[in-house]
Homo-oligomer: A and B are copies of this chain.
């Protein structure tokens, strides 16, 4: 849009976001995740040297929404694909955008090894405690007792174990430089999340190593809630299981 007094704009849609209506459900915080990344790409001026790696999940179409070169990985393999790109183009900014089924279930080996190698990539990990794309089955991150399409009686920890806390797990490795967890359920947390996303890109730009930001996210559709309820559920149910905070921050990042 053309503006007569541009200096009056307090907030405007990031340039790095493509001007299209997304396929995400109303209120799905995947959109928020995309927005934060786009804002950071704008602020850091990375648009022309960034390569995004979309994963298989509801965010499969991330490549349609963020205005940088993009590839679409196989389910769970985004970190391996990003490794392939970063190794041949070390001066580019390479990030993956992955859901919890993608990263914590089928993609466990690839994320652990990318982190252990200290691969110089940025991973934005959206944890919504469920498989959204396929219609709401249990993820490794699903909460105890949570009813999903593949845990109709509620997740039974006796047979399926407790939720996997990826940030804590990866922080147990020597490789990573920056591992934190934030949430997208309210303005204050979204602002913190934005800072973390920016740091995660700066870590890469400064060549400090592997950076991952876990973002607690909503899936109103498969949780069977309206968007506001979903945000409240994140605060009430998810945050206690997935404490927000910094799990690994090497010297020199802050």
> Looking across the interface, which residue of chain B has its beta carbon closest to that of A112?
B108
| Cβ proximity bits A91-112 to B, threshold 8 Å, 1 near / 0 not | 0000000000000011111001
- Contacting pair A172 B174 (CB below 8 A): no
Q: Count A interface residues, CB 8 Å.
A: 26
Say whether A168 faces chain B, with CB atoms less than 8 Å apart.
Answer: yes
Distance of A106 Cα from B112 Cα, bound (Å): 11
Q: Which residues of B contact A117 (CB under 8 A)?
A: 159-161
Q: Which residues of B contact A174 (CB under 8 A)?
A: 161-163, 165
Q: Which residues of B contact A108 (CB under 8 A)?
A: 108-109, 112-113
Say whether A164 faces chain B, with CB atoms less than 8 Å apart.
Answer: yes
Which residues, 133 to 150 on A, are CB-close (under 8 Å) to B? 140
Say whether A27 faces chain B, with CB atoms less than 8 Å apart.
Answer: no
Say whether A173 faces chain B, with CB atoms less than 8 Å apart.
Answer: yes
Q: Which residues of B contact A113 (CB under 8 A)?
A: 105, 108, 140
Say whether A118 faces chain B, with CB atoms less than 8 Å apart.
Answer: yes
Say whether A175 faces chain B, with CB atoms less than 8 Å apart.
Answer: yes
A114 to chain B, nearest CB (A): 9
Say whether A228 faces chain B, with CB atoms less than 8 Å apart.
Answer: no
A151 to chain B, nearest CB (A): 13
Q: Which residues of B contact A172 (CB under 8 A)?
A: 168-169, 171-172
Say whether A232 faces chain B, with CB atoms less than 8 Å apart.
Answer: no
Say whether A205 faces chain B, with CB atoms less than 8 Å apart.
Answer: no
Distance of A105 Cα from B108 Cα, bound (Å): 11
Which residues, 116 to 136 on A, are CB-close (under 8 Å) to B? 116-118
Which residues, 31 to 61 on A, are CB-close (under 8 Å) to B? none
A residues within 8 Å of B by Cβ? 105-109, 112-113, 116-118, 140, 157, 159-165, 168-169, 171-175
Among all A-B residue pairs, the 4 with the closest Cβ atoms = A117-B161, A172-B172, A108-B109, A109-B109
Known: A109-B109, A165-B174, A169-B169. 10 other contacts (CB 8 A): A109-B112, A112-B112, A112-B164, A116-B140, A117-B160, A118-B157, A118-B162, A161-B175, A169-B172, A171-B172
Q: 28 A-B residue contacts at CB 8 Å?
A: A105-B113, A106-B109, A108-B109, A108-B112, A108-B113, A109-B109, A109-B112, A112-B164, A112-B169, A113-B140, A116-B161, A116-B164, A117-B159, A117-B160, A117-B161, A118-B157, A161-B174, A161-B175, A162-B174, A162-B175, A163-B174, A164-B173, A165-B174, A168-B172, A169-B169, A169-B172, A171-B172, A172-B172
